[in-house]
Structure 1
C-alpha cells in the first residue's frame, strides 16, 4: 500500500479478502483528463483531485495560497467542468452478476455518464454514490464521464427564490464577486470552501475521493457493525451485525467472528436472495479495555468477520476494535446540568482542540499529514479532537489514528454558523448523508459523540438574531419547524438507528432546546476574551461545565510568513499580502495590537512582533487551560479553537499550515500534562492548585519559591502532598505582599514544582503583567552537539530568560521544546530534528527572548526622542 495518498489507502481498505465470490475492486484513477465546459482544450487531470489543483498542475492558474493569488482564481467556481477517462473492462468483470461503480466523494453537482448513458446527477459531496452498471458496462474500452456544474450557477436561483435571507456565517460572497448573495447553505458541500474568518474563498469542484469498479458473483459481506452492549473489566457483551448480499438462496452459510485470531462466535444462517442480516451475540471475558490518551493503553483487538458458503470461504473483513464503555453524562446536579464523558466507568476530563480540514484542497491531505495532525495532539497530552461542522467528515484513516492513539472524537455533522432551507428534499438528502457517515464511522471506538451542528442554535436563538427576524418576516413557524426537523428529529433518529449507542447532542453550544448556552448547563463557546475584549485574566473567572470552543489569534512565525509573503513590502501586518491572509480583517489585527499593549511591550520590527504575538496567544490559552482544569469537576472539558489551518493565514490555530508549532502548542504540553501545578494571582492573592488526571493517587513534594530575576530566593515553602485521583486541590493561598520580602513585584517570579516518584512538574507565576516585568537581556550560553536526527542545543542563562524562541529556515525542522523559560543558573537542552549540516545549523539558528524584546523596545523609545525631548513616532506594526 502506498503511503503517499490517504485516498489510495481509503479505497484499498474497502477491498475485502476474497474467495469463491470473486469480489473484485478496481480503482478507476488513471488517464483522466478535464476541460472547461465551453472549451475544446483538454488537459491531464489527477483523480482524486479538484479543478483548482488540476489547473495548477497544468500551469493554468498560480498557487492561490501565494500572496494575493486567491483573488485571481475566483472565476473558477463560475465555470462548468468536464472530466473523462477510459478504462478496459475484463471478461470476468462484465460476466459478474453484480457490477457497480462507486464514487466515494463527488464535489458537488455532477452528472455521471457511462458509455454516454446518464447514470445520475449528484448533489452532496458528503455522500457515497453507488450505481449498478450491469448492462451498461461492456467488455473492452468504456468511457466514464463526470460533468461538474458550477455551484455558483446552480445555487444563485435558489437564493433568488426567497424573499427573506438565511444566516450564512462568514460566507465571503463579496470576495467571490457575487455581492451579498451568500450561497453556502444551499449546497451540501464543505462550508469553509466559501470562506471563513480564517480561510480563503476557494469553491472547488472535482472527484475528491476515490472512484472504483466493484464486481462480484454469489455472496458478499456488505456491512459489519460491532455493538458493545455491556462492557466492564470482567467481561464485554458484544453483538456483531453482519449484512450479507446474496444473488441466490444459500441455505448453508456460516459466519465466524475472531478476536486476535481466537474464535469468539459463529452462527449458521440460511441466506435468501437479496439483503440478509445476521446477528451474533457473544462475550469476551476479561477484555483488555481501550483507554484515552493519558489514562491507559488504547488497546485494539483485531476482529475478523468471515463468511463461508457450503464450506467454501467467501469473504473476510478485518476491523480494529477497541472494547470500552463510553457514555456522555448530562444530568442535573447542584450547579445546573453537568456534561462530561465517562470511559470504562471513570470520568474523563476532556483536553483537546477543535479541528478544521487540513487543506482547502482536500485530496492533498496525505497519510503523513493526518499522522502528524493526530500525533501533535497526542504528544501535547490531549485526549479529544472536535471535528468541526463547517468542513467534512474526515477520512477513515484519521479515525483509525484516533483509535490507535487514544484520542476521543467529538464529531459534528456538517452544519455550521448558519440557518438552512430545510424543506423535505433537503431533509431527505441530509438524512442519507448522515446514514452514510454514521455507518462508515460507527465501529471506531474513538467516536464519543455525534453533534448536530456548530453554533446553528446560537445563530437561530442567540447572537444571530434570526429567530426575531423570521418572526418579523412571518416565516418563524416554518423556519423553526425546519430547524427542529434537522437537529431534533432527522439527525438524532439516524444516530439512534445506526450509531450503535453513541450519544447525540443537537448543537454546540447547547443547554436546552431553545437555549444555546448559559454557562451552567451543558457546553459553552466562550469568546469574551477576544471578540468581547475581556482581559486575558477573565479566563480565570469565567465558568462553564464544558468549554467546547474559545480561542485567541496569532500570526505564523516569520519563517512561515516568508513562504507565502516573501517580499519585503509584505512584512507588515497591514500590508496587502498579509491582509489577504488575515480573514478576520483589520478588526483582528487591532485586537492583537490592543491585547499586546495590555500585556506585553510591543516591538516595532516585524519578526519580533510575530514572536511576541505567538507568546501572547500561548500565554492566553495556557491561562484558559489551567483555569478550566483548576475548576474540575465543575468544569470537565476544555477544547480550544483551533488545532490547524487549511492555508497559510493569521488565525486561532496552534499549528500553522506548514505544521510549525506556535507557542500555544508548546505551552499545551505542560498545561495539559497528567499533573498540573498551577499558580495564579488574583485580587493580589497567590493561589496554587495541584490538578491530576491520573486514575491512581499521586504522592509528591510541593515547593514554592519566590525568586528574583537574577536567581535569589526571597521566600520558600515545601511540604508533602497526596493528590487523589482526578481532582483539583488548592494547596496554597497567601497575599502576594507576604511573599515579596519588600521587593518590587516586577523583579520577582513564583517558581512552583511538584516532585512525584518519577517526574517533576514545574510552573511559574507572576504578580504583575508581562509588560511590567523588569526583564533584562539574558547572556545566553549556547552549546550544540550532534545527536540522532539533528542536534542537542543546551542553553544556560545568568538571569530569568522568559519565552526563549529558537528558529531555523525551512519546514523540515522540529524543536522538542520552544518558547520556553530558563531559570537563572539553570540549563535547558532542546533536541532539534533537522537535516541541516553542522555549519548550516549554526549559521541559521536564531534565538530571541522576552528580555531581548524589552531591550529593543527601550532602544526604540529612546530613538523616538529628539534633542528637545519630543516624541517622534516611527511607525511599525
Structure 2
C-alpha cells in the first residue's frame, strides 16, 4: 500500500523583519490580521484607521515555524513543502537551506525538502518582501507608467507611482472604488508537509467529451507519480459502471487516461431548470506488487456552451445548458473580505445561499480579486449557480516581459486544473474592462489612456496585452479545459481586430457594462432603453444599515461629508451623487438615519427598473448581472448584501425581480401603463390578471380580471391601460393601481403602481401593525396598514433576513413574511426558519422631513 501523509504547519510566529519583537501568528492569515490580533494596530475598518496603516506595505515581514519530523519521514520516497498560497514576494528557508523564491499570490508553491529536513526540530523561515520595495524598481526600469485606474497610490504615499500591475497579487488590495488599500503579505492559504511512499494520485480531471440525457462520454485524466517503475491496473468507477485498463508506470510524474461511459446520466442543472446533480468517481491504481493509490473526483455532468450567432439585430450572447437556453440572473461577486484568510466556509455558504434564495442562477467572479477557495465553487455546484470566472486582471495594462508572462502562464495552469471539475463553471473571461478601456483600434474610443503614450509605447503595451489575453490564456485553456468557452475581456463585442472589437455604451452584440446611470448621472428611466445582449455590469450605490455604519463610525460622524463617511466612500463624489439622485426621485430625509434608509430605497428602485427591463427584452437580452452582490469591508457601495451579511433593500428588490414569473409595469409618455409578464418557466401558464384601482387612501374604486395566457419562457405584453382608464377620471396622484397575476390559487406576482411620485409623499403617516404567529416551521409575521405605505421596512435584532422586506402595502391587503436565521458553520444549512425577536416596522413616511409630509 502507498502511504501518504499531510503534516499541517500551523504553529507560527511573526515580526517586522528589521525589529526583534516576535508575535504569535495565524496561518492561514496575513500581516494585518496578525498585527490586529496582537494589539499592535487598531481595527483597520474603523473610522479613518485605513489611512494610518499604510506603513505596513512599506515593510518586510518574517514568519517562522518550528516543527518535529514525524516518525518514518526519513524513509519516505518524497517529502515536499506545500504552500497553497503565498502573498506575494516570499523567500523560504528550511534549516538555513534556501528553498524557493515566490512571486505570485494566485498559485500553489511546492518544493522538494528531502535534503533539507533533519531529525528533531526543523525551522522553517519565510521572508515577505514589501511589494513597494520589489516593484518600484520595475516601474523605474520600464521607463513609463502603465494605466492602473483604481490603484490608490496617493493613499499609500506613492504619489502617481502605481505599481499594482507588476505584482501577481489581488488588484483590490491596492484600493478600488468600493474598497480600501491594504497591501497585505503573509501565508494566506494552507501550508503543510506532504510525505509519501509508493504511488500518489495528484490530480484527476473528468473530461466531459459528450453529455446528453442518454449517455455521458468521459475521459478520466489522471496525474500520478510513482517512486519506481511498476505495472498494474487503473480503475475508474461511478454509478455502478467500472472501467479498467492495464498500465505501466515509470518512475516520476505521468498522466494516464481512461474512458468511461455512463448510460442515462443524472444531469447537472442550474437553479430553476432542474436539480444540480453531482456524480462521484472513484479512481484507483492497483499495482501488481501490492502498491495501491486511491482518490475521489466529484463533478456534475452537463454540456455548457456560450452561444454567439449572427441574427437580424447583431449577434446573440447567451448560455446553453444541456440544450436549454438560460436567461442569466445574478450579480458580480467581489472578495468577501479585504483579508482573504478571514473568509470562512460559513461566510461563503451564507453568501451563496443568499444568492440562491434571491433567485440567482449565475455569479460573475470579477477579475480584480482572487480565485476563490474551493469551497466557493463547491457551494455553487451544490446550489446550481453558474459561474462566470474572470482571470485576475482588471482595469489596468500589464507588463509583457518574459518573467511576468511565464508567471501568468503558471497561474493559469494551476487555477484551471484546480477548478475545472466544477460543473458550475460556465465561462473563463480574460479580464475586466481592459479591452474597452485601452481600445487599441479606435483612436477616440476608450478611457483616454492611449493619449499618454507615443506610437512605439502603444504597440509595446498592446503586444503585452495580446500575449496574455489572446495567446497564453486561451492556449492554456485549450490544452487543459475545453469544456467551457473563453471570452477575452468583459465587455467586448467580438475579437475582430478592428474598432468593431471594443465595447461601446450599448451594442447589439457581445456583453455590456452600462454605467450611464451613476457615472454619467443618467436617469433610471434610461435602463428601459439602454439594453444590450448580455448586461454583465450595471449598478447604483447606497449606504448600509445604521447598525453597520455604527461599526465603523461614532454618533458624531453621522454626517454625509464627515471625515469618516468620506473615508468609507471610495467613489470620490459618491455621497454627493447619491444625494443628487435622491433629490431627483425621493422626498427629503428628516435626518442622517433617514438618509441611510432612503439611499437603500433609491438603490433598490434603480436596479429593479434595470432588471425588469433586461428581462422584458428577452430573448434579445439574455443576461442581467448587477454590480455587486457583496462587500469586502463595511462601506457605502453598490452591494446588495453588506459586509456583515445584512440584506439591503436592493437584495429584497432583486429577489422579487428574479422570480420565475414577474409582472412589469412601464409608463409611456402618453401616460398609458404597459403591463408585461415575463416567464422563465419551461411550461405554459394559464393565468389571470387582476387590475384593481384604489384611491389615495387605499379605498377600492374598481377592479376587473383579464385572462393571461403565457407561452413557456417568454416576455409578453399582457395589456396597455390608457391614462384615462387607469386614472378613472381623477388626478393621477389620487390613484393607486394594484396588479396581480395568478394561476389557479397560486399568486405568481403582484405590483403596486402609485400615480403620485414618492416625492409627493402625503402628510398623514400610515399606522403599520405586525402580528406574530407561531407555526411548526417557525414564526411568521403578518404586516398590515391603515393607509397606503411605501417601502415598508421590517427590522429585527436577530441575525438573518426576512422572506420579503421594503415592500409597498395597501389597506386590506396584508403581507405575511417569515424570518430566516443565519445558521452557524456547525449546522447543516446556511439559513433556517426562526422566530425573530423585536420585529418592528416603518414606512417611508417615518424617515422623511416634516416639511415634505
Distance verdict in 2 for CA 1:326–1:822, change over 3 Å: same
Aligned 8 A contact 2:199 2:291 in 1: no
Question: Which position in structure 2 is the counterpart of 1:107?
Answer: 87
Deviation at 1:214, TM superposition (A): 0.6
Deviation at 1:783, TM superposition (A): 2.3
Supply the distance in 2 between the matched residues of 1:639 and 1:775 (Cα, whole angstroms): 38
Question: Which position in structure 2 is the counterpart of 1:798?
Answer: 786
Counterpart mapping for 1:825-844 below 5 A: 825-832=812-819
Question: Which position in structure 2 is the counterpart of 1:9?
Answer: none
Question: Which position in structure 1 is the counterpart of 2:234?
Answer: 255
Q: Are 2:476 and 1:494 aligned?
A: yes
Distance verdict in 2 for CA 1:88–1:622, change over 3 Å: same
Aligned 8 A contact 1:709 1:824 in 2: no
Distance verdict in 2 for CA 1:523–1:459, change over 3 Å: same
Structure 1: which 5+ residue stretches go unaligned?
A: 1-19, 836-840, 863-877
Q: Deviations over 1:837-873 (max 9, x none)?
A: xxxx9995443212334xx42x2469xxxxxxxxxxx
Q: Are 2:668 and 1:685 aligned?
A: no
Supply the distance in 2 between the matched residues of 1:621 and 1:312 (Cα, whole angstroms): 62
Question: Which position in structure 1 is the counterpart of 2:518?
Answer: 530
Supply the distance in 2 between the matched residues of 1:768 and 1:301 (Cα, whole angstroms): 55
Q: Deviations over 1:159-216 (max 9, x none)?
A: 2223322110211111111111111111100000011110011110000000111111
Q: Which of 712, 716, 740 is residue 753 of structure 1 equivalent to? A: 740
Deviation larger for 611-620 or 318-327: 318-327
The secondary structure found in structure 1 opposite 2:32 is helix
The secondary structure found in structure 1 opposite 2:175 is strand
Question: Which position in structure 2 is the counterpart of 1:6?
Answer: none
Question: Which position in structure 1 is the counterpart of 2:769?
Answer: 781
Q: Which of 682, 685, 691 is residue 698 of structure 1 equivalent to? A: 685
Question: Which position in structure 1 is the counterpart of 2:831?
Answer: none
Supply the distance in 2 between the matched residues of 1:237 and 1:641 (Cα, whole angstroms): 38
Question: Which position in structure 2 is the counterpart of 1:610?
Answer: 596
Counterpart mapping for 1:579-618 below 5 A: 579-585=566-572, 587-618=573-604
Question: Which position in structure 2 is the counterpart of 1:521?
Answer: 509
Question: Which position in structure 2 is the counterpart of 1:552?
Answer: 540
Question: Which position in structure 2 is the counterpart of 1:82?
Answer: 62
Q: Deviations over 1:527-581 (max 9, x none)?
A: 001101110111111120000000000000111111111x221111211111111
| Alignment: residue pair count | 829
Deviation at 1:223, TM superposition (A): 1.3
The secondary structure found in structure 1 opposite 2:87 is coil
Aligned 8 A contact 1:775 1:850 in 2: no
Q: Deviations over 1:665-698 (max 9, x none)?
A: 0111110011111112121221111111112222
Q: Which of 15, 18, 23 is residue 35 of structure 1 equivalent to? A: 15
The secondary structure found in structure 1 opposite 2:370 is coil
Q: Are 2:647 and 1:657 aligned?
A: no
Deviation at 1:582, TM superposition (A): 0.7
Distance verdict in 2 for CA 1:639–1:775, change over 3 Å: farther
Question: Which position in structure 2 is the counterpart of 1:360?
Answer: 338
Distance verdict in 2 for CA 1:483–1:824, change over 3 Å: same
Distance verdict in 2 for CA 1:415–1:819, change over 3 Å: same
Counterpart mapping for 1:184-195 below 5 A: 184-195=164-175
Question: Which position in structure 1 is the counterpart of 2:442?
Answer: none
Q: Which of 147, 158, 180 is residue 178 of structure 1 equivalent to? A: 158
The secondary structure found in structure 2 opposite 1:185 is helix
Deviation at 1:833, TM superposition (A): 5.1
Deviation at 1:366, TM superposition (A): 0.5
Q: Are 2:719 and 1:732 aligned?
A: yes
Counterpart mapping for 1:312-327 below 5 A: 312=290, 314-327=292-305
Deviation larger for 738-747 or 633-642: 738-747
Deviation at 1:324, TM superposition (A): 0.7
Deviation at 1:699, TM superposition (A): 2.1
Deviation at 1:658, TM superposition (A): 0.6
Supply the distance in 2 between the matched residues of 1:524 and 1:113 (Cα, whole angstroms): 48
Deviation at 1:764, TM superposition (A): 2.3
The secondary structure found in structure 2 opposite 1:195 is coil
Counterpart mapping for 1:840-851 below 5 A: 845-851=839-845
Deviation at 1:478, TM superposition (A): 1.1
Distance verdict in 2 for CA 1:770–1:223, change over 3 Å: same
The Cα RMSD (Å) is: 1.9
Question: Which position in structure 2 is the counterpart of 1:869?
Answer: none
Supply the distance in 2 between the matched residues of 1:750 and 1:228 (Cα, whole angstroms): 52
Distance verdict in 2 for CA 1:101–1:44, change over 3 Å: same
Q: Deviations over 1:335-378 (max 9, x none)?
A: 11210000010000000000110000111100100000101100
Question: Which position in structure 2 is the counterpart of 1:381?
Answer: 359
Aligned 8 A contact 1:110 1:146 in 2: yes
Question: Which position in structure 2 is the counterpart of 1:709?
Answer: 696
Deviation at 1:588, TM superposition (A): 0.9
Q: Deviations over 1:235-294 (max 9, x none)?
A: 11111111121121112x21222224x234222211122222221122211111111011
Deviation at 1:789, TM superposition (A): 8.8
Deviation at 1:317, TM superposition (A): 1.8
The secondary structure found in structure 2 opposite 1:386 is strand
Supply the distance in 2 between the matched residues of 1:736 and 1:434 (Cα, whole angstroms): 58
Question: Which position in structure 2 is the counterpart of 1:214?
Answer: 194
Q: Are 2:450 and 1:467 aligned?
A: yes
Counterpart mapping for 1:814-829 below 5 A: 814-829=801-816
Supply the distance in 2 between the matched residues of 1:716 and 1:316 (Cα, whole angstroms): 68
Q: Are 2:19 and 1:25 aligned?
A: no
Q: Deviations over 1:107-164 (max 9, x none)?
A: 0000010111111111000011010111111222111110000111111111222332
Counterpart mapping for 1:245-644 below 5 A: 245-251=225-231, 253-260=232-239, 262-310=240-288, 312=290, 314-461=292-439, 462-470=445-453, 472=454, 474-513=456-495, 514=499, 515-518=501-504, 519-565=507-553, 567-585=554-572, 587-644=573-630
Q: Deviations over 1:78-118 (max 9, x none)?
A: 01001001111124222101111110000000001011111
Supply the distance in 1 between the matched residues of 2:735 and 2:503 (Cα, whole angstroms): 40
Supply the distance in 2 between the matched residues of 1:561 and 1:169 (Cα, whole angstroms): 27
Distance verdict in 2 for CA 1:790–1:345, change over 3 Å: closer
Aligned 8 A contact 2:388 2:427 in 1: yes
Aligned 8 A contact 1:681 1:767 in 2: no
Supply the distance in 1 between the matched residues of 2:820 and 2:510 (Cα, whole angstroms): 42
Supply the distance in 2 between the matched residues of 1:24 and 1:758 (Cα, whole angstroms): 59
Supply the distance in 2 between the matched residues of 1:312 and 1:601 (Cα, whole angstroms): 78
Q: Are 2:72 and 1:125 aligned?
A: no
Supply the distance in 1 between the matched residues of 2:354 and 2:699 (Cα, whole angstroms): 37
Supply the distance in 2 between the matched residues of 1:359 and 1:433 (Cα, whole angstroms): 22
Structure 2: which 5+ residue stretches go unaligned?
A: 440-444, 823-834
Aligned 8 A contact 1:789 1:834 in 2: no
Supply the distance in 2 between the matched residues of 1:320 and 1:723 (Cα, whole angstroms): 39
Q: Deviations over 1:574-626 (max 9, x none)?
A: 111111111112x1111111111111102131111111110100111111110
Deviation larger for 51-60 or 210-219: 210-219
Superposition misfits of 4+ residues, deviation over 6 angstroms: none
The secondary structure found in structure 2 opposite 1:722 is strand
The secondary structure found in structure 1 opposite 2:435 is helix
